[in-house]
Structure 1
Amino acid sequence: MSESSLGKGDSLHQQVLASFPLCDITEDDMTQNPQFCKLLATLAQHVDQTGLTVPLNTELDKAEQKLQSQRRQWLRSESLSKGLQEMTQEHCIKKHHTTVPPDQNMFYETMEKCLLVSQCIRQLDPSSTTNQDQPSLLGLSTQQVMELMPPEKNIQRMKQGLPGELEKHLRRKCLSLLSYYQPEWENESEGLKAIKLSHLSAQLDKEKKRAESLTETCRENTVLLQRQTHLYLSELIKCIQILQSLILDHRLRIQTDLDRKKLEYFEGKLELVLQKIKVEMVEIQLDTYTVDSISAHRKIRGKLDTELKACQVEKQSVELKLASFKILGKEFETLAEEYCRLRQEIEMKHWALKEFTQYSNK
């Protein structure tokens, strides 16, 4: 393989790895599978790093923008609703600690009633797609709930003063957020706080982007670390295999001498044990068979041999008689069985007569 083709292959490998950072692929995998590497290189022209095609990614961006727009609208209305609820809660707490002017009390009571009515209406008709044939909640209708609204005069007065009160409330919340974000700015003047508050959104957005950049860098470092870990483990496994082969070769070289020495040791030990066993057997025989015991054993053996010969002669004679009886046939066997039966009956009668005589004497 020439240097130019090698450099081209390495460049192609790097391009594929950069195009698919989320895939656990190494250069060795692509070197061993060149067709798969070409397939990935061709596929990289049609998809991005996340695996999405260009048209699908465009549609996804449009859907994401639409979702973000709707999310901003929802957050705007939800933030406004939460802010109004917080204002009513703060007023309720304030009433229990200080004396509130009647007009301010009327303002917050009107706003609270309007919020409650709007929440009830939202519960009765949560969406425009609600089926009109469905039974209403608690049998109430929107018109019945609207009758609970405060007088129109109070509502108009509340609407006139609402922007100012809401602006004050949001300003206090922003200043508290500023104090939480930078506690050292809490003792600054109101003008300086207002200036810093105007730059807070940009600063938070800058830090958010920095956090996202750090997250992306962390993800790339994680992928790189996984790749390096895989390479490290592969090299470590190769080193372990080489070390195992070296240990095995060294062990095989010295194993022959070690086995031979062990064999010689065990052979010598076995020979020593056999000699000890022989010595013990000789000592046992010497202790057991003395001169007197040997002569007595000889006499006993002679007597036993004589009795054995006599028994053998008797056995031969009995076998001859038995053979002569067998010549007589089955009739003799019947007579012999009848003779045995009569002998048993005679013995039983003798036993019964003896028992009866002993009982009569008593």
Structure 2
Amino acid sequence: MKVAIVHDELVRRGGAEQVVLSMHKAYPDAPIYTLCYNADTTYPEFKKANVITSWFQKIGNNEKLVKALFFPFAMLAMRSMKLEGFDVVLISTTHCAKYIRVDKGTTVITYCHTPFRLAWRPWSYENIMKKNWLVRNVFLLVAAMLKQFDKLAARRSDYYLTNAIGMKEAIEEAYKPRREVTIINPSVKLQNFYLAQQVKDYYLVVSRLEPYKKVDLVIDAFNSMPDKKLVIVGKGSMEKDLKARANTNISFLNSLGADELARLYAEAKAFLFPQHEDYGITPLEAAASGRPVIAYGKGGVLDTMIPWNISTAQATALFFKEQTMAAVSHAIDKFEHLYFDPAFIRQHAQRFSENIFIKKIQRFVQSVIPGYFVFPERLTTHPVAYDVVEQSQ
């Protein structure tokens, strides 16, 4: 069985790119087709893969240009790529990977992280919605056009996979797929994280510094609690503004190595997650380090975290209900009087191991391509009953 992997673009380090790396481990001989690729700004493991880019690579290979030239250049570039001779095309996408063309008879399986935000939730771009009438309405007009293109491209998929219950519902509402969407939770790389012998006195945020990440709420909360320390790891368009906003008890770091980041996770009092994410891999990275999460109780954390209710002995997170500074501050005050079990938290994270994710992907593929059986590291032609893919609880 010949498999190809397709991803939107490989120019950043995020949860979607980690999913693609896991897909690559499931099918190590499969080429990875993508809009553009920058080996310096994404995960170094991609250097070992056969990455094939579109003509957009000649224009640019960074996130800023992808966003600026998405309509229409990125769309056209991805549409220009024709994948021939493959039995299965495994797509990982939020935006343009679904524009790829394939042979008639090729089975297309799309792992959709979320319906394209610009097309389906343009109002969530708060910085643009605050612009003048002309800019705002031109933006909404382009978004409406993209919505129609996105809907048409989505019809090429034979099967849909996604990361969480909320995204299953969003995909079914947006794209009306022919078959039920299957949930396969993304994994956390457990081997990269560990339990520390001693926890220090700082709280931790690991996030891109963009408006929708709501890091400003955490900064405001810690500005009101000067006796508590906060470490923020990340880069983004709001970096300068957030640094100017922060008091001296808040420090910023970026471009960390894997070992240094793992240490920060392991030694933090707790991990803060104020945003509403479709999934969110960083809370699981905190859990793999045995550290509790203080999170806004919406979105993907409902799939990955066990919230504190009565006992912390079997909980991994403390949720707050509103995205306000007051709610964040109140949650931190409450956390100071609770004890979470690091060993239990780490054990919970093991449910989201990469090996489990890889096996579920392989089993799903073998279930829709009759006659193929996945056996250690290779494919053989042998019929097998499908072991139903279950969502990790």
Structure with bigger helix share is: 1
Whose radius of gyration is greater, 1 or 2?
1
Q: TM-score, normalised by structure 1?
A: 0.22
Q: TM-score, normalised by structure 2?
A: 0.21
Structure with bigger strand share is: 2
Higher RCO structure (Cα 8 Å, ≥6 apart): 2
